Amino acid sequence: MAVATLILLLLVLVAVSGVLVRFLPLPLPIIQIVLGILLAWPIDGLHVEMEPALFLLVFVPPLLFIEGLLLPKREFRELAPQIFGLAFGLVFFTVVVFGYALHWLLPVVPLPVAFALAAVLSPTDALAVSSIVGRDIVPARIRHILEGESLLNDASGLVVLRFAVAAALTGHFSLGETAITFWLVALGGVAAGLVTLWATSKALRIVAKIGDIRPEVQVMILILLPFAAYLLAEEIHASGILAAVTAGLYTSRTGLFGALSIPARMQNAALVDVLSFTFNGAIFLMLGLQLPGIIRTVPSELSLYGTVWEPVLAVLTLTLILLAIRFAWIVFGSAVRGAINRWRGREAQRLTGRLKVVMTLAGVRGAITLAGILSLPLVLPDGSPFPARDLVIFIAAGVIICSLVVASVALPAVARGIPLEEEDVIANEERLARVTAAEAAIARIEEMVEESRDDPAVYETRMAASQQLIPFYRQRIVLGDADDPAAQDLLPVIGAMTEAALDAERAALVGLLRSHKINDTTMRAIMSEVTLTLALIAKKKGSTGH
C-alpha cells in the first residue's frame, strides 16, 4: 500500500510541477527537485530508499530510448565527431583529471574511489539538458551536440565506474585490460540493442500479418523494446544503457513504425509524450527525495571547524573544477577540429567564446549520477567499510544541485542574444516536406484516375473520390507554401474558418449528447477526431507565427 501511495503522490506532484512551471521563472527539473525536497523535509517527512539497480531498470531505458528516438539522425551523423568527443573523450579526461584533483584535495578519498566519483560525475543528464537548453536559448546545432553527448556518456561513465569500483575492491587495475573490456562492453551494448530492435521489428510484422489485432498490443510490444534491450545487454555483462540508446537511435531505420497500424501509430505518438513527461518528473522528484537524507549528515572531512559554509564551499569548488575541465576539453576539441579542417581545406563552423561557455554550463548532472554513486558497495571483501563512501555520496549530491542551479541561473544570461538562425532552416524544411508530400499525393491520385479510363465504372468512382481528396491536398500546399503572397492572405483565413467550423461541430455534438440522441462512446469517438484537427491547427499557428 505504501508503494501505491508513493506512486500516486509522485504522479500528482508531476502534474503540479507542470502547472507551477507556468508561473515560476525556473526550469521544470529544478521545480520538481524542490518539490521532492519539501516532501522529504523536515525530519518526519517522506523517506524513500532508492534501489539503484531497480531505478536504472525502470526509469532509464524508456527515457533514453525516447531521447534517442526523437534525436535528429541527420544532425547526429553530421555532428558525430563533436558528440563522440564529448561522450567518450571528455569522460576519460574527467575521470583522470578530476580523480587526481579530488585525491589531492581530500587524501582521505583513495584514488580508485576518487576515480569512481569522477566516473559518475562525468555523464551529463539528458533530461535536464533538454529542459534547460531549450529551443529559445541556444542554436539547434549546439543543442543537438549536447543532447547527443548526454545520451551516450551515461554508458561510458557507468562502465568506467564499474572498473573503478572493481579496482577499489580488489586493489588491482590494468589499463590495457580495462580498455579492452570497455570496448567489449560498449560493443556488446550496441549489439544487444540492434538484436532486440530486429526481433521487435519481426514480431510487429508477424502481428501485422495476423490481422485484426488491437493497436494496444502493437504499442505494448514497442513499449517493452527498451526494457528488453537493457536486460539482454545486462545479461551478457554489456552496457544496458547503450543498448536502450542504440535501439532508440535506429528504430526509424528498421521501418518498424511501418509495421504499426494507423491507430497504433497515433496511440504510440501520444503515449511517448505522456511517458516522457511523467518519467522525467518522477526521476527529479525521486532525486529531490534522496537529497535531504544525504545532505543532513555532513561528512566530518568537509566540516573541520563545524561551520555550514565549509561543505558548501567544498562542493562549489569541486563543481568549478568540473566546469573548468569541461571548458578546457571543449576548447581543445574545437582547436583540433579547426586544425584538421584547415589541413583538409574545409571550412567549418567555429565555436565562439560564448558558445564554448554555454556548452560548459550545460554540463549538468542528474539522476544517473546519484543512482551510480548510490550503487557503491557498503563493504570491502574483507568486511571493512567501503572507504569514504558517505563522503563521495555527499559530494555527488552537492554537485548535482550546484550544477543545476548554476546552469539555470547563468545559461539564460550567457546565451541571451546568440543568433538562432538554424530554426528558420527547420521551418523551411517543414514547409518543403509538406508541399512535396502533398504534390506527390495529388500526382498519384491523378495517375490512379488515368489508369482506370478503360473501365468506366471504376473511372467514375475514382474521379468522384479524387474530387474530394485533391482539394484537401491543395489546401495543405497553400498552408505549407508560406512564401507565396496568396498563401500569406489565405492562411489565417483558412485557419480561422476551420477553427470556427470545428467549434460548431463540437457544439452540435454536445447538443446531441444532452438530448440523448448519441451516447458517450459516440461522443468520444467523434470528439477525438475534432480535437486532433484542432491540435493540428494550433501546431500550424505556432510554427507560422499567425
CB–CB of 126/83 below 8 Å? no
Strand partners, 379: 385
Half-sphere exposure of 520 (CA within 13 A, CB side): 0
280 with 406, same domain? yes
Round to the nearest angstrom and report the end-to-end CA distance of the chain: 50
Task: Give the long-range contacts of residues 49-54, CB within 8 A, separation 24 or more.
Answer: 50/286, 50/289, 50/290, 50/370, 50/371, 50/374, 52/371, 52/372, 52/374, 52/375, 53/375
Whole-angstrom distance, CA of residue 386 vs CA of residue 409 = 36
C-beta atoms surrounding 40 within 10 Å? 20
In a domain, 412, yes or no: yes
Q: How far is CA 488 from the centre of its chain?
A: 35
How high is the pLDDT of residue 483?
55
- Cα separation, 154 vs 129, in Å, equals 13
Cα–Cα nearest to 238, from 195, 286, 274: 195
Type of residue found at 4: A
Closest CA to 150 of 124, 168, 174: 124
Number of neighbouring beta carbons within 10 Å of residue 464? 10
| Contact present, 122 and 157 (Cβ < 8 Å) | yes
Q: What is the pLDDT of residue 439?
A: 82
Q: Is 40 within a domain? A: yes
CATH number at residue 267: 1.20.1530.20
| Separation between Cα atoms, residue 533 and residue 455, nearest integer Å | 36
- Rounded Cα gap, residues 152 and 154, in angstroms: 6
CA distance 96 to 518: 69
Q: Is residue 53 part of a domain?
A: yes
How many domains does the chain contain in total? 3
Query: How is residue 385 annotated by DSSP?
Result: B
Tens of pLDDT along the chain (546 residues)? 567 788 888 899 999 998 998 888 887 888 888 898 888 876 666 777 777 778 788 888 888 888 888 888 878 888 888 899 998 899 999 999 999 999 998 888 888 899 999 999 998 876 676 667 665 677 778 888 888 888 888 878 888 888 888 888 877 767 677 778 888 888 999 999 999 999 998 888 888 888 777 888 888 988 999 999 999 999 998 888 889 989 988 887 777 777 777 778 878 877 888 888 888 888 888 888 888 878 777 777 777 666 667 888 888 999 999 999 999 999 998 888 888 877 877 766 677 888 888 889 888 888 788 888 888 888 888 888 888 888 898 899 889 888 888 888 888 888 777 776 555 566 667 676 777 877 888 888 888 888 888 888 888 888 888 887 788 777 667 666 555 555 555 556 666 776 777 778 778 888 888 888 887 778 777 777 666 666 665 555 555 554
The answer to whether 146 and 132 are in contact (CB under 8 A) is: no
In a shared domain, residues 155 and 253: yes
Query: Cell numbers 522528484 label which residue?
Result: 285
Is 486 a member of any domain? no
Q: Report yes or no on 102 lying in a domain.
A: yes
Q: Is 13 within 8 Å of 28 (Cβ atoms)? A: no
Buried b (16+ CB within 10 A) or exposed e, 257-272: bebbbeebeebbeeeb
- Picking from 460, 481, 502, the residue at the C-terminal end of a domain is 481
Q: DSSP string covering 160-188, please?
A: HHHHHHHHHHHS---HHHHHHHHHHHHHH
User: Is residue 440 located within the same domain as residue 508?
Assistant: no
Q: Which SS3 state, helix, strand or coil, does residue 363 take?
A: coil
Q: What angle do CA 360, 366, 372 make, to 5 degrees?
A: 115
Say if 150 falls within a structural domain: yes
357 within 8 A of 412, measured Cβ to Cβ: no
**413 near 354, Cβ under 8 Å?**
no
Domain boundary among 457, 481, 505: 481
Largest CA distance in the chain: 96
Answer yes or no: do 113 and 148 share one domain: yes
402 and 433 in a single domain? The answer is no
| Per-residue model confidence (pLDDT) at position 7 | 83
Instruction: Please indicate, yes or no, whether residues 416 and 427 belong to a single structural domain of this protein.
Output: no
Give the end of a domain, one of 400, 420, 440.
Answer: 420
In a domain, 175, yes or no: yes
Residues 84 and 86: their CA atoms lie apart, in Å, by: 5
User: CA 279 to CA 28: how far, in whole Å?
Assistant: 13
Nearest to 27 by CA among 121, 123, 137, 124: 137
What pLDDT, on the 0 to 100 scale, is given for residue 90?
A: 92
pLDDT at position 100 is: 92
Question: Burial, 475: exposed, middle or buried (Cβ in 10 Å; 0-12, 13-18, 19+)?
Answer: middle
Element (H, E) at 231: helix 215-235
Nearest-5° Cα angle at 126, 124 to 129: 80
Alpha-carbon distance of 244 to 189, in angstroms, equals: 8
Specify whether 410 is located in the same domain as 339: yes
Q: Is residue 358 part of a domain?
A: yes
Selection from 444, 445, 437, 534 nearest residue 480 by Cα? 437
For 461-473, give the DSSP string: HHHHHHHHHHHHH
Q: Are residues 395 and 524 in the same domain?
A: no
Range of the domain at 438: 422-481
- Do 163 and 175 lie in one domain? The reply is yes
| 133 and 200 together in one domain | yes
Of 320, 369, 400, nearest to 30 by C-alpha is 400
Q: What are phi and psi of 418, to 5 degrees?
A: -70, 130
Angle 487-489-495 (CA atoms, 0-180°, nearest 5)?
A: 80
pLDDT of residue 230: 94
Could you tell me if 455 and 400 lie in one domain?
A: no
- Does one domain contain both 209 and 314? yes
Asked if 391 and 110 count as a contact pair (C-beta separation under 8 A), the reply is no
Distance in angstroms (rounded) separating the CA atoms of residues 397 and 388: 14
